[in-house]
């Protein structure tokens, strides 16, 4: 803006701020320079393609590669061995005429099982991180935007009663219902207190429930601290042991125990965004807070979230594999990389491919996600850009 403007339109193209116009493009250039990150990105794309392909090849009534077809006469065949057509019924012969990754102790095609598992890993990664990011963005956004706004005692009590009631009603519906009705009564009291607040000589109890307790920021960020204190893998183990084993429960549990990082990122971004003029300008236009938070501030806060998302997907895949390995994961016969690994560990000396193939697959995918995430972080970091 400091440049002389004899001819506005022409100069606006050469303005120093036009550098920002190339921000997206230069991020990509910077990302491309980072060969390791680029490799990670390519592996990520390949993995994505394989997982989608795997879903099509291994599902349906008559799949091309059947992951659950048992051929006991062909068990523990090493990779790249061909099936013996004499010993098999015609429909048991694999479509590729070769066991690319060998067979397991029940003679199931490991390639087919890996493909099926890839889809599981992908969905677990994305859905779990999706849950984590949504929870993290909402809580982080509230904590960052409302910050020092203090919650009144009545509102806090209502929230605790509803949350506690919902939790308890899982085991004791009666007490849950009782807490819920307590909350309803409290809401009525608060509403009537709100009417009395403007009047002179308000009664004692109106003041009492209007007492300001903790700020929203304190409540949410201390919850984050508490959640971070749990050794989350064991928390997941406990919850998974209580809940019926299904892939959806696992996704939800992983998601609900990994939102804390995103919350912190989003809150930190919001604390600085909140003071920006465009947020005040948006309020001056008469926008409501939800619109300001989610439409105006959120897109400006997403860069660090994106980074934590890619790394989060990797750790979710790893967590799922760990759970499956320990036998708490996705129930058989559904194959995941974790349970292929866990089934194979009994035959590690006779059939090492049963452990090495899923192990390597997990290693490569998780590593590629991490490298990809690091690469994005560097590419979106404006300080590195100036140096380059």
Partner 1 sequence: MGDSNTLLNVAGLTVWFQADGERSWAVNGASFSVGRGETVCIVGESGCGKTVSALSIMGLVKTPPGRIAAGKIMFEGKNLLSLNDAEMQQIRGRRIAMVFQEPLASLNPVFTIGDQISEAITVHEKLAPEALRARVLELLRAVGIPSPDERLGSYPHQLSGGQRQRVMIAMALACEPDLIIADEPTTALDVTIQAQILNLLKSIKEDRGLSLLYITHDLGVVASIADRVYVMYAGCVVEQGEVGDVFLEPRHPYTKGLLASLPDRARRGMPLTGIPGYVPGRFGRPVGCPFEPRCSEAEKECHIEFPQFLDWGKGHMARCPVLYSREKRR
Segment 299-338, which members bind partner 1 (CB under 8 A)? Answer: 299-300
Measured CA to CA, the distance from residue 255 to residue 129 in angstroms comes to 6
Least spacing, CB of residue 149 vs partner 1, in Å: 9
Structure tokens given for 122: 């992908």
User: Would you say 36 or 281 has its CB closer to partner 1?
Assistant: 281
Give the closest residue to 79 by CA, choosing from 356, 336, 337, 333.
Answer: 356
Candidate ranges 155-163, 248-256, 296-304, 324-332; the one touching partner 1 (CB under 8 A): 296-304
277 touches partner 1 (CB under 8 A):
yes
Least spacing, CB of residue 343 vs partner 1, in Å: 48
Least spacing, CB of residue 300 vs partner 1, in Å: 6
User: Would you say 280 or 363 has its CB closer to partner 1?
Assistant: 280
286 touches partner 1 (CB under 8 A):
yes
284 touches partner 1 (CB under 8 A):
yes
User: Would you say 11 or 163 has its CB closer to partner 1?
Assistant: 11
Measured CA to CA, the distance from residue 371 to residue 95 in angstroms comes to 36
Size of the site for partner 1 (CB under 8 A): 31
Least spacing, CB of residue 284 vs partner 1, in Å: 4
282 touches partner 1 (CB under 8 A):
yes
1 touches partner 1 (CB under 8 A):
yes
> Which one of 160, 228, 281, 360 is in contact with partner 1 (CB under 8 A)?
281
> Which one of 26, 164, 186, 296 is in contact with partner 1 (CB under 8 A)?
296
User: Would you say 17 or 199 has its CB closer to partner 1?
Assistant: 17
> Which one of 15, 92, 105, 374 is in contact with partner 1 (CB under 8 A)?
15
Under a CB-based contact definition with an 8 Å cutoff, are residues 319 and 233 in contact? yes
Interaction pattern, residues 114-153, with partner 1; x per rule: CB under 8 A: ----------------------------------x-----
191 touches partner 1 (CB under 8 A):
no
Give the closest residue to 40 by CA, choosing from 376, 268, 371.
Answer: 371
Measured CA to CA, the distance from residue 234 to residue 237 in angstroms comes to 5
Least spacing, CB of residue 271 vs partner 1, in Å: 13
> Which one of 285, 349, 386, 387 is in contact with partner 1 (CB under 8 A)?
285
Structure tokens given for 18: 């036009």
> Which one of 56, 159, 175, 278 is in contact with partner 1 (CB under 8 A)?
278
Backbone φ, ψ for residue 69 (5° rounding): -80, 120
Segment 230-269, which members bind partner 1 (CB under 8 A)? Answer: none
Handedness of CA 229, 230, 233, 236 (dihedral sign): negative
User: Would you say 149 or 205 has its CB closer to partner 1?
Assistant: 149
The binding site for partner 1 (CB under 8 A) comprises 1-2, 4-5, 8-9, 11-12, 15, 17-18, 20-21, 148, 276-278, 280-288, 291, 295-296, 299-300
């Amino acid at each position: 803006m400091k440049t002389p403007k004899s001819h506005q339109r022409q100069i606006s193209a050469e303005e120093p701020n036009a550098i920002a116009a190339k921000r997206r493009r230069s991020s990509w250039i910077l990302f491309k320079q980072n060969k390791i990150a680029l490799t990670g990105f390519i592996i990520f794309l390949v993995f994505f393609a394989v997982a989608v392909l795997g879903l099509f090849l291994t599902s349906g009534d008559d799949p091309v590669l059947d992951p659950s077809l048992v051929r006991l006469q062909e068990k523990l065949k090493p990779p790249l061995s061909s099936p013996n057509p004499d010993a098999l019924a015609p429909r048991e012969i694999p479509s590729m005429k070769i066991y690319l990754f060998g067979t397991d102790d029940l003679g199931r095609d490991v390639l087919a099982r890996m493909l099926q598992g890839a889809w599981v890993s992908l969905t677990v990664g994305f859905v779990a991180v999706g849950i984590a990011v949504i929870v993290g963005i909402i809580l982080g956004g509230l904590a960052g935007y409302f910050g020092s706004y203090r919650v009144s005692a009545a509102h806090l009590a209502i929230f605790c009663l509803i949350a506690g009631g919902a939790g308890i009603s899982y085991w004791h519906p009666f007490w849950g219902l009782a807490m819920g009705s307590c909350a309803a009564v409290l809401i009525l009291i608060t509403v009537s207190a709100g009417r009395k607040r403007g009047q002179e000589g308000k009664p004692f109890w109106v003041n009492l429930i209007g007492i300001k307790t903790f700020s929203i920021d304190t409540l949410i960020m201390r919850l984050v601290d508490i959640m971070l204190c749990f050794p989350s893998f064991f928390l997941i183990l406990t919850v998974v042991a209580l809940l019926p084993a299904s892939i959806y429960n696992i996704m939800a549990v992983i998601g609900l125990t990994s939102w804390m990082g995103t919350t912190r990122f989003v809150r930190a971004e919001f604390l600085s965004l909140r003071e920006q003029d465009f947020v005040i300008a948006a309020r001056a236009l008469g926008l409501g807070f939800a619109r300001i938070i989610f439409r105006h501030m959120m897109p400006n806060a997403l860069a660090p979230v994106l980074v934590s998302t890619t790394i989060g997907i990797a750790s979710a895949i790893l967590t799922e594999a760990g759970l499956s390995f320990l036998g708490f994961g996705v129930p058989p016969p559904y194959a995941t990389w974790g349970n292929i690994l866990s089934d194979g560990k009994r035959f590690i000396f006779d059939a090492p491919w049963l452990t090495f193939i899923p192990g390597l697959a997990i290693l490569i995918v998780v590593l590629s996600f991490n490298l990809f995430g690091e690469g994005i972080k560097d590419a979106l970091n404006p300080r590195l850009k100036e140096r380059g």
